[in-house]
A and B are shown apart, each in its own frame.
Chain A
Amino acid sequence: MDNLLNGLVLFLNFVVVPATSYGAQLALGALGVNLIFGVLRFSNFAHGDTMAFGTMLTILGTWALQSAGFSLGFLPTALAALPLGIAGTILFCLAADRLVYAHYRRQKAAPVVFMMASMGVMFILNGVVRIVIGPNERNFADGERFLVTAQQFKDATGLLEGVTIRTSQALTLAVAVLAVLALFLFLQRTRTGAAMRAFSDNETLALLCGVSPKVVIRTTWIIAATLMTVAGVLYGLDKSFRPFTYFQILLPIFAAAIVGGFGRPVGAIIGGFIVAFSEIALTYAYRKVVLYFLPGSDMGDSLLQLVPTDYKFSISFVILVVILIIAPTGILKAKSSS
């Protein structure tokens, strides 16, 4: 019995807990991608790098607060700097919209043109972030590192294995839930939220109803910038901040958005967790878990790891390809049309 529990705890600790917080981060990213796709009708390739930009601003704010002796106690100081990061990212997105995307809207350019333009924005951000904060890893998490340590867990349960819950992981989940709730309430309950859904549903008809495209587009960027910064800061607190990883995270985020079906907020959340759980469950080495479940089984030298960690991005890629082949409109849409 203890063996089973130990195996389960091991699995919880190394797969379920990290995948849940990673899933929440991907979900926030995918929600932003979805929103921009739904209203502005293009795939925003600058998404990952905008997340990096917002996180960079937050880190700069965190450093300033830290050197001023400010602290939030057991919570990371970055939370206090988050509003600054969000505000800066909103300003950047609105500026990018006015300088880049508004031009192509006036030209009534095809979505693929917007997508290529967003790659240009991505490269610019790429450079800006590296010039300001450098390409190296930055760890900006402070406060209490653990909510539950492995030792505390072992002492409390008497098991050999422990579950560690880092503050950043709990924080990720809490903030993600709050952000998603706020977004849904906004979209469902407010006049502007309804206008955004209408605009995304049927642009011509929304205009005939008197919806102002300027307001809808501005609101979309404000919300997307907020989601991007929050997702980026949570990811940075959970792992660490390195500009390049934020570029790489674009792939799992797009996979999550496509799994759920583009333009579907609920889908983005489900997609985020599907991608996160697949990635972590497939790259985890199960040797120890299996030894707990089936003591004495002979596995030779095998770690029982399905995919090496170095190849974790291939998992997002495979998910992306499979979904595009079997259910190109995403799992939710495929379900509703059958």
Chain B
Amino acid sequence: MSYLNGSKMCGGYNGVQILNGCSISVDRGQVVVIVGPNGAGKSTAMKALLGIVPLTTGDVALDGKSLGGMDPQSRVNRGIAFVPQTDNIFPTMTVLENLKMGAYLRRDDIGASIEEVFETFPILRTKRGDLGRTLSGGQRQQLAVGRALMSQPTVLMLDEPTAGVSPNVAADLLRQIVALKERGLAVLMVEQNARQALEIADVGYVLVLGENRFTGSGQDLLADHEVRRSFLGG
């Protein structure tokens, strides 16, 4: 049993079923990537793990305990941090204030965590007093990940962290994300940029129409002839 486990999840929005029994699990110290064509339910699967999308059947368990019926906020309190794809920072608050909001529920000293985020993303240290809306796309994503880390999560979920970011910056960001798993975090990522993401994935899931199509290590999936032909463009 993995640390975070979504099993046989079915569900969707407003009565439209998007997930058709897919299962996703991630362990601490692992980077897990969900890829697949548009409309495959990648983001929906992640949002189901977080409790934003209600499940009709199936279950989500964290560390062996079911999260069923729990709202997203309680799941966040249990150590799951989520970085949405867009609108993932507070634009009229400074970088430092953004990070402090990430630690909103913590009552202990957050100085060490801020320092840790600054070490992971040095650009944030130089921009600490700047308003969120003045940051570039890549800096915003770094701030969004930094903000999520401030709650000291055990699971970090990222919805397309490299979307709209230049290729160089995206590569940097992915490298920084890999560094996070070394700290014992369970990292789950949805990526449009499948090839680049699978390179760093310990486990990759290929979803199609809300079902698991292929599962394997990132390297295996990259090497798999059918996966390459169907989803990676040859």
Contacts and interface: CB of A to CB of B under 8 A. Distances in A.
B22 interface: no
A308 interface: no
Interface string B125-166: 000000000000000000000010001000000000000000
B231 to A, nearest CB: 30
A170 B93 CA distance: 34
A209 B103 CA distance: 7
A194 B73 CA distance: 18
| Contact-size category for B | 20 to 34
A81 interface: no
A205 interface: yes
A194 B91 contact: no
Given A201-B92, A202-B91, A207 B100 contact: no
Nearest to A195: B104
A184 B147 CA distance: 24
Interface string B69-108: 0001100110000101001111111000100111011000
A64 to B, nearest CB: 43
A52 to B, nearest CB: 32
26 contacts: A191-B104, A197-B90, A197-B97, A198-B93, A198-B101, A201-B90, A201-B92, A201-B93, A202-B87, A202-B90, A202-B91, A204-B84, A204-B87, A205-B84, A205-B87, A205-B101, A206-B90, A207-B72, A208-B76, A208-B84, A209-B76, A209-B101, A209-B102, A209-B104, A210-B73, A210-B151
Given A195-B104, A204-B87, A205-B84, A210 B93 contact: no
Interface of A: 191, 194-195, 197-198, 201-202, 204-211
Contact of B89 (A194, A197, A202, A207): A202
A206 B101 contact: yes
A234 B73 CA distance: 42
Nearest to B144: A205
A282 B82 CA distance: 54
Given A205-B84, A208-B82, A197 B92 contact: yes
Nearest to B80: A208
A85 B158 CA distance: 49
Contacts of B89: 202, 205
Contacts of A205: 84, 87-90, 101
A209 B84 contact: no
Contact of B105 (A197, A198, A210): A210
Q: Which 3 A-B pairs have the closest CB atoms?
A: A210-B105, A201-B90, A209-B104
A201 B94 CA distance: 12
Nearest to B100: A194
Contacts of A206: 90, 101
Given A194-B97, A198-B101, A201-B92, A210 B87 contact: no
A197 B131 CA distance: 13
A209 to B, nearest CB: 5
Given A208-B82, A209-B101, A210-B105, A198 B90 contact: yes
A208 B150 CA distance: 12
Contact of B151 (A191, A198, A209): A209
B210 to A, nearest CB: 23
B146 to A, nearest CB: 13
Contacts of A209: 76, 101-102, 104-105, 147, 151
Given A202-B89, A209-B105, 14 more contacts: A191-B104, A194-B100, A194-B101, A195-B101, A198-B101, A198-B104, A201-B90, A201-B93, A206-B90, A208-B73, A208-B82, A209-B101, A209-B104, A210-B104
A268 B89 CA distance: 25
Contacts of A195: 101, 104
Contacts of B88: 205
A202 B89 CA distance: 8
Nearest to A211: B104
Nearest to B102: A209
Contacts of B72: 207-208
B93 A207 contact: no
B84 A201 contact: no
A207 B74 CA distance: 10
Interface string B51-75: 0000000000000000000001100
Contacts of A208: 72-73, 76, 82, 84
Contacts of A202: 87, 89-91
A207 B73 contact: yes
B93 to A, nearest CB: 6
A202 B98 CA distance: 11
A207 B71 CA distance: 11
Contacts of A191: 104
A209 B93 CA distance: 14
B89, B93, B101, B151: residue with the most chain A Cβ atoms closer than 10 Å: B101
B87, B88, B92: residue with the most chain A Cβ atoms closer than 10 Å: B92
A199 B169 CA distance: 29
A210 B150 CA distance: 12
A208 B50 CA distance: 10
